[in-house]
Amino acid sequence: MTQTHPFHLGVALDGAGWHPAAWREPNSRPHELFSGSYWTELATTAQRGLLDFVTIEDSLTVPANPYVAEDPDAVDQVRARLDAHLVAAYVAPRTHGLGLIPTVTTTHTEPFHVSKALATLDHTSRGRAGWQVKVSSSEQEAAHFGRRDVPGLDKRDREALATGALPAFVAELFDEAAEVADVVRLLWDSWEDDAEIREVQTRRFIDRDKLHHVDFEGRFFSVRGPSITPRSPQGQPVVTALAHRDIAYELAARAADLVFVTPSPSNGPEVLAEVRAAEERVGRTGEPLRVYADVLVFLDTDRESGADRLARLDALAGRELVTDATVFTGGVAALADLLQSWQAQGSDGFRLRPGVAVDDLEAVTTELVPELQRRGLFRAEYPRTSLRGLLGLPTDVPSRYATPAA
């Protein structure tokens, strides 16, 4: 390979695809969207392309585009979700090599539950688990639980966000998310690596001295610990976050190993500078935050150009697609050029959002990856390592509670 550092590539899966009309495409099989076989097929397609990971989108309300005003009762879109973590758990034993990163919302989820669920996924996937941290500022989502009031963002709040102002309750939700991540990481460390001894003769399954109370007292949570799930293969599964602006960059810098950003083709260096500034503001030390650029793709086919596909899907949806990420339409050579240019600007990797999940993911696997391999940019097989190792993160991550060996 000729690149100066490894080329990392993942995909973001969201139902039938990132276009609201994707479910109406001939290959999308809407009657299978909530079946295990559908999600297994997507994951194994990504695996055939040797991709680093798939992220699985989720929310605590029906899918909707936050960037446009939509009729909440509309029935011309997919208005249902499966649980992302449980989808990942289902496909874990049916895949290998591929990282599995479900979205888990922090706002209405206890950190003990998050810690236990993701550690379990790391066990069942044999060290391929991650977590995409998500904050909910939705009044509707809060109403599903009835335990707290979240005001929600009205039109004036959204206009203020565009100019840099931030409602106080949103800042509080991000602070809470960072605290959740702190607690989760502590609980992951609460079992030392060799706490399980399984001595049948002495009737001791665990060494109790190697289980630790985390005794966390914070602004939002009080958690004693330890976890009830043994330390997982990675020790610390990979933590990720999607970020568009300063407060989200700071959350990623405080809590995550990897941040997904949404640059335009020309402002990559500015976005990277904002991420590094956020690291300085929160006092991050040690490993720098890995920065992955998101791009939503509609790739050319033998029958139709990517631009024509997007236009046709927009017509089916009744409006142009509005999204936070760069939208790419065209062939795989041009997409490879774009990704190489972002890599040259300093991006550590890339996450593609397939406009139509089945069609565009298949094109990524069968056309884009071979193009990258021809350029000497991409691997020819999976290395025998964990997701942390695949992404170039430290793999020897001892429990913070372990006593150093003499």
Q: What is the pLDDT of residues 178-195, one digit of tens each?
A: 999 999 999 999 999 988
> Side chain identity at 362, as an amino acid letter?
E
Cα gap 137→150, rounded to integer Å = 7
Task: Supply the pLDDT for residue 123.
Answer: 97
Cα gap 146→30, rounded to integer Å = 32
Task: Supply the pLDDT for residue 103.
Answer: 97
Token duo for residue 48: 């055939």
User: Residue 173, Cβ neighbours under 10 Å: how many?
Assistant: 19
Cα gap 229→115, rounded to integer Å = 9
Helix, strand and coil content of the chain, in percent to the nearest 5, comes to 40, 15, 45
Cα gap 129→177, rounded to integer Å = 19
Per DSSP bridges, beta strands 204-206 and 290-299 are: unpaired
Q: Does 315 score more than 80 pLDDT? A: yes
Secondary element (H or E) of residue 126: none
Q: Nearest-CA neighbor of 18 among 357, 358, 324, 306?
A: 357
Supply the mean pLDDT for the chain: 91
Task: Supply the pLDDT for residue 129.
Answer: 98
Parse the chain into domains and list their residue ranges: 9-390
Confidence band, pLDDT 50/70/90 cuts, at residue 64 = confident
Token duo for residue 75: 């029935």
Cα gap 149→151, rounded to integer Å = 6
Task: Supply the pLDDT for residue 161.
Answer: 56
Identify the sign of the CA torsion 11, 16, 20, 24. Answer: positive
Domain 9-390, CATH 3.20.20.30 — does that match?
A: yes
Residues 6 or more apart whose Cβ sits within 8 Å of residue 117: 85, 104
